[in-house]
Amino acid sequence: MAGCDRPCTIAFQASGKATYLFGDIRPDTDIASLVDFADLYLRMPDGMTREAERPAGLRGKTLARIPAAILVSELAAEGVQ
């Protein structure tokens, strides 16, 4: 990421879910934690997780949790006024 002093960052984003950005990821030790988080993220309807729910290997590495944005085009497609 441009301007980021973290050596390795990973983001999780899906439509209608919170976005997560993790930093200081160590490819040699954090892969299992990332896979575990991906499974948890998939199961959460809104993507929101508490720090204690996240794999221990990712604790202290959360740089951002951004709530899901409601896009006008998505609402229009669903017929929401």
Structure token pair of residue 74 = 């998505």
Residue 34 clears pLDDT 80, i.e. is over it? yes
Residue found under tokens 């990332």: 34
Structure token pair of residue 49 = 């997780």
pLDDT band of 72, cuts 50, 70, 90: low
Considering the entire predicted model, what is its pTM? 0.78
Number of independent structural domains in the chain: 1
Residue 69 resides in a domain? yes
Residue 1 resides in a domain? no
Task: Provide the pLDDT for residue 70.
Answer: 65
Structure token pair of residue 73 = 């085009």
Residue 3 resides in a domain? no
- 76 or 42, greater pLDDT: 42
Residue 4 resides in a domain? no
